[in-house]
Chain A
Amino acid sequence: MEVVLIACGSFNPITNMHLRMFELARDHLQDTEKYRVVRGIISPVGDGYRKKGLIEARHRVEMARLATKTSDWIEVDTWESLQPDWVETAKVVRHHYEELKAAQQDQGEDGTLSYGKKRRMEEEHPSINEAQPPQLFLLCGADVLESFGVPNLWKPADVEELAGHGVVCITRGGSDPEAFVHQSDALWRHRRNIHLVREWVTNEVSATHVRRSLRRGRSVRYLLPDAVVTYVREERLYSAQSEQKNAHVVLAPLARYADAGPS
């Protein structure tokens, strides 16, 4: 079964740790011999998210582009970042899933494969189902999975929808995602779609740490791809000032769901 991984997040900035998540997820899924990961998508969040310290999307997108130049399967998608308001992750996944389905149909109608050839391919490779679009799995860290439980951060229906597609969760040190899946009825119901990847090699290099180091004039070389380090320096991103952006503003999902009242 073909799989596409999509990671939504601030990527503020993108780091080697983010990129490692993709590699770890792909290795894990392909090791099950049930999945073949064909593509990875990085979808930086829009400025409307209003997270503290979030710099402009155009920079975050460009850094992600620079970071994935040397990857032959991971790419950056700007749809989410271009939307005027913050977009729920479930909507982002829905959007990309529709695109994958549409692309699949185009292929079929194209008539690129003759009926006979299709039949032969299916006989030889029964696990590759030509008619189905690839599955779309949300790739995230354990902190995101656990955030499903934070009041007013996620709509229950959205969690349901995401779990229905599939989630690949990379454990960060200090988390116990298995316990969390167990404690959430929605996640537990979709537990077969939730793939937990143990990261045996602790890697705590977060974007927060990187921003802190940059504010303090410390080197972040070898924590992010060189091209990104250069871009950050040339564009003079990440200062004490940039970290104060949105300091007194409510995070978009909290604002939206609090206004809406209990759903």
Chain B
Amino acid sequence: MAAGRIPLVLLACGSFNPITNQHMRLFELARDHMHSTGNYQVVKGIVSPVSDGYGKQGLVSAEHRNAMAKLALQTSDWITNDEWESDQPDWTETVITMRHHHGRILKQYQQSTGPSPQLKLLCGADFLEGFRVPGMWRPEDLEELAGAYGLVCVSRGGLQPERAAHESDTLWRHRRNVFLVREWVRNEASATEVRRALRRGLSAKYLLPDAVIDYIGRHALYTDASESKNQGTPLRPLAKQYQPGGTGGSLG
């Protein structure tokens, strides 16, 4: 490893419903960007599918989402899928997932000399929009995310992460920990679009790995019925974090 560079792990939390080439591009773009700063050596990428408890509409079971991510990442030599978050009984705040993974990484690097490894959250620009939705993030969690860890955020379509970063005081305060990556070519082949194509019996080939398309076909995963799942149910973070009387501060 290049001398003096900080070992860096990128963690992407999301539905991965299903995982697509677009998701995997995030990792590639982020790694290139962080390397080009001269300060980091990206040693690992982690895909962390959200648990079923998230309650998002159209979310198929974690069992399937994990299986698909595993298939998609078979040929990657640095990105892996991790089931810890989806194994938890309830939806887990992102900072808790990050604490868990950061702990594991520190243990792995206990014996090594050189700079301490870092963990940063990898996301698309749409993720930053979530910071503005009341009840999605506790202020102290956002502080921990930006302050203790940091973000690598890739632009998406017309969404400019610079604006969201500018409009959040927390992100602005920790702006040196917030890395914004421009994806110059628009590629909007999102999981939503992929599910739409599959529902309509249209081809999704070349938008996600063949192995994942095969898996989806064998299990008849994405249909009108699957897309209606959780319809009308509030997202778990909103239900959990806005409790009258309140559980208040972060969970341990």
Contact = CB atoms under 8 A, between A and B. Distances in A.
A binds B: yes
Interface of A: 16, 19-20, 23-24, 26-27, 70-71, 173, 200-206, 209, 218-219, 221-223, 225-226
A27 B189 contact: no
Given A27-B202, A27-B203, A202-B188, 5 more contacts: A26-B203, A173-B186, A201-B189, A202-B157, A218-B32
Contact of B207 (A20, A173, A225): A20
A205 B185 CA distance: 6
Contacts of A24: 203
Contacts of B185: 204-206, 209
B210 interface: yes
B184 A222 contact: no
A204 B186 contact: yes
A203 B28 CA distance: 18
Interface string B193-207: 100000000110111
Interface in B14-50: 21-22, 24-25, 28-29, 31-32
Nearest to B72: A222
A257 B178 CA distance: 54
Closest 9 CB pairs of A and B: A23-B203, A219-B28, A222-B21, A16-B206, A204-B185, A19-B206, A202-B188, A204-B186, A222-B24
B139 to A, nearest CB: 35
A225 B193 CA distance: 20
A201 B191 CA distance: 11
Contacts of B187: 202-205
Interface residues of B, number: 24
24 contacts: A19-B205, A19-B206, A20-B206, A20-B207, A23-B203, A24-B203, A26-B203, A201-B188, A201-B190, A202-B187, A202-B188, A203-B186, A203-B187, A204-B185, A204-B186, A204-B187, A205-B187, A209-B184, A209-B185, A219-B32, A221-B24, A221-B25, A222-B21, A225-B206
B205 A202 contact: no
A20 B243 CA distance: 47
A24 B197 CA distance: 10
Nearest to B205: A23
A203 B189 contact: yes
Pick the most buried of A201, A206, A219: most chain B CB atoms within 10 A of its CB: A201
B75 interface: yes
Contacts of A201: 188-190, 193
Contacts, number: 56
Nearest to A28: B202
Nearest to A212: B184
A223 B183 CA distance: 12
A223 B189 contact: no
Nearest to A26: B203
Nearest to A70: B210
B43 to A, nearest CB: 16
Contacts of A23: 203, 205-206
Contacts of A70: 210
Nearest to B208: A222
Contacts of B193: 200-201
B119 to A, nearest CB: 21
Interface string B155-188: 0010000000000000000000000000011111
A219 B210 contact: no
Contacts of B186: 173, 202-204
B31 to A, nearest CB: 7
A226 B75 contact: yes
Nearest to B193: A201
A219 B79 CA distance: 14
Given A20-B207, A23-B203, A226-B75, A219 B189 contact: no
Nearest to A173: B186
Contacts of B203: 23-24, 26-27
Contacts of A205: 185, 187
Nearest to B190: A201
A16 B157 CA distance: 18
Contact of A219 (B31, B184, B202, B205): B31
